[in-house]
Structures are given as structure tokens and as C-alpha cells.
Amino acid sequence: MSTEASPQIAFDADALAWDKQDGLLPAVVQDAATLRVLMLGYMDRAALQATLASGHVTFYSRSRQRLWTKGESSGHVLEVVAIEADCDADTLLVRARPHGPTCHLGRASCFPDAPGDFLAELDGLVARRERERPAGSYTTSLFNGGVRRIAQKVGEEGVETALAAVAQDDAALLGEAADLVYHLQVLLRARGLSLADAVAVLRERHRPG
């Protein structure tokens, strides 16, 4: 019988090659937003079942000989978004939303130099600023100014980027382009959207070849 999955995640555990590695499968955890690799752990059937049932990544600890949910003591859980197996059905890729640092050393990833999508990280920071509105933050002041003011800033930055392209050096153009992208992210968030939503539109329009 297949592992019982949560309503959000459907996964057939019986299709996996459990017999290859004494009932354990390596599970690579990746940040669902930034795509940064966060950590590697191992799952047995029970760990996978617990992961699917709870929505939090759960592993089998080979040293402690028991199940453990990432963040069970620190609170820094990994909220599952999706799980897939590789072509040999003997390794799992888990995409998750980290709630706090994943590494026990306080780093985002157990691999300190693991690459990720910086724009996604920045978008996450902009989203937090929109929710929390910390005093003294420039981003907070933009949100407090409202959509019209943010839209005006995007227009200004767009003009400055265009002018830099025809009249200034590369460094100036890159600086203005960075300002434009940042203010566009803030504008999208002010409308309840994200840069990922705009990227999804681009993906839908894309026609390979």
C-alpha cells in the first residue's frame, strides 16, 4: 500500500527503490524560493510517511536510530512544498520553505557556498518588510507611501536607467538597473504580487527554439 500523503503532497512511496540501500534513501533538501541546496539527510519509509503527513521534513537519524523532524528543538522547521524522486527512484529531492536557518551553525545552508537565486532572496526580504514595517527602513517608507508613490519611483528609475544606457558608462547603467529592479519588486509586493509571478508570465510566453 502506498504511503498516505497529506492533501497538499501526493507521492507514491511504493515506487521507490527502498531495497538498494537497506531501506534508506538520501534526501536532498532545496529552498523552494531560492533553489539553494540546504542540507542532505536520509529517509526510511516511516520518515517519508511522517514528512507527508505533517508537512515538515522528517529524517531517519542513523546515529540516533530514530526519526527526527528538522527543527524539532530549534523551531527551524522545513515546510514541505514538493517531493520528487530521481530517475533511478533511489534519491529524493525535497523542495521546502525554511523557517529560520537550516544549518546548526546558524547558516541558511549546511553548504556555506551553495548557490541560490539572489533575486528570490531579495523578494523574500521585501515581503518581510511589507509585513513587519520596521522603523527606519527605506523599504518600509516606500510601502507607507502607497502604490502611487512606489509606481512613481519605478517610473523615475526606468527613465534614469534609459538615460544611463545612452549617456553613461556601464557601472552607472548597472546601478540604475539594480535600482529599477528593486523598486519594481516593491511595487509588485504593494499590489500583493511577487517577482516570481512576473517570471511565471515570462515562462508561459517562452517558446523554445
Boundaries of every domain in the chain: 13-98, 118-205
- What pLDDT sits at residue 7? 39
**Which among 53, 50, 97 is positioned nearest to 76, based on CA atoms?**
97
What pTM did the predictor assign? Answer: 0.75
- What pLDDT sits at residue 182? 98
The answer to whether 189 and 182 have CB atoms below 8 angstroms apart is no
The answer to whether 73 and 144 have CB atoms below 8 angstroms apart is no
- What pLDDT sits at residue 167? 97
How far, in Å, CA of 94 to CA of 28, rounded? 6
HSE, CB side, 13 Å, CA atoms: give it for residue 153.
22
- 3-state SS class at 44: coil
- What pLDDT sits at residue 60? 96
Its CATH architecture, for the domain 13-98, is Roll (3.10)
Pick the CATH number of 118-205 from 1.10.10.60, 3.30.470.20, 1.10.150.530, 1.10.287.1080: 1.10.287.1080
Block residue for cell numbers 511589507: 130
**Tens-digit pLDDT profile for residues 93-103:** 999 999 999 99
